[in-house]
Amino acid sequence: MNLIETHAHLYSEQFRPDQAEVLHRAVAAGVGTILLPNVDHSTIDAMLELEAAAPQTCHAMMGLHPCSVGPTFEKELHLVEDWLSKRPFVAVGECGIDLYWDKTYLPQQQEALRVQLALAKQYDLPIVLHTRDAFEEAFALVAEAQDGSLRGVFHCFSGSLEEAERVIGLGFKMGIGGVATFKNGGLDKVLPHVEVAHLVLETDCPYLAPVPYRGKRNEPAYLPLVLHRVAALLGQSPEAVAEATTRNAQELFRLANQG
């Protein structure tokens, strides 16, 4: 089975003691490609070091996470723009809007997302969207920017069927992770009504580990647990869902061009 992990913070401090072993377990579990979302200036070096150490497996994105948007966000965005101009990345991200902890910097988050949507168009890259407690705010800006050239994924999707249909209508994918395995995660009411063509798989590790590891550190080797739950909800075989979601990710991120 060849799975693509579309969202893993594998460069995180939490993996520092055993990063090589985690990577080995992922490959052994059939996860042959791992996409690395950036957070801000503080994560770039560790992310690019991991990509350089495992270039056949790990591929970096470049973006500014909404939780890192503050008074000096313009400086962070200049760094993102500079990196995008210097070398290839698989996506712009992760970026978006997050109103879970604090709404203080909502206007700045909105401006940062507008800039990164423009960068995704400029570099013909998919955009990876973080929308925690802010689906409406993020969706409005993406819809406003969608001129037919934007593509991307609403990462860590856990919304309603109506929201899923709006994402699909925009031409975007949904990133499905450990929440699909949670008893009250809500995706059991959504995924049976969604075509697999609109889905990609992710863990968002080290966060949101799937059952039975919920509450523990997540890692890419747990992606098959997400796959099996998604397959059960879709009423399809794991093999068919693996093939389809891998193809979706390859096309969205143009991974055939990587190497």
- In this predicted structure, what is the pLDDT of residue 258? 42
Q: What is the mean pLDDT of the chain?
A: 97
Residues contacting 36, CB < 8 A, separation 6+: 8, 9, 10, 11, 47, 50, 51, 58, 59, 60, 61
Residues contacting 22, CB < 8 A, separation 6+: 10, 15, 219, 220, 221
DSSP three-state, residue 156: coil
Banded model confidence at residue 259, pLDDT cuts 50, 70, 90: very low
- In this predicted structure, what is the pLDDT of residue 1? 81
Q: Dmax of the chain from CA atoms?
A: 48
Domain 3-257 class in CATH: alpha beta
Q: Are 69 and 97 in contact (CB under 8 A)?
A: no
Tokens 């998919």 — which residue?
126
- In this predicted structure, what is the pLDDT of residue 29? 98
- In this predicted structure, what is the pLDDT of residue 177? 98
pTM: 0.97
φ, ψ (nearest 5 deg) of residue 115: -60, -45
Report the share of the chain in percent with pLDDT over 70.
Answer: 99
Banded model confidence at residue 80, pLDDT cuts 50, 70, 90: very high
95-116 average pLDDT score? 96
Banded model confidence at residue 256, pLDDT cuts 50, 70, 90: confident
Q: What is the pLDDT of residues 22-57, one digit of tens each?
A: 999 999 999 999 999 999 999 999 999 999 999 999
User: End-to-end distance of the chain based on CA atoms, in angstroms?
Assistant: 20
Q: What is d(CA 162, CA 45) in angstroms, rounded to the nearest whole number?
A: 39
Q: What is the pLDDT of residues 181-231, one digit of tens each?
A: 999 999 999 999 999 999 999 999 999 999 999 999 999 999 999 999 999
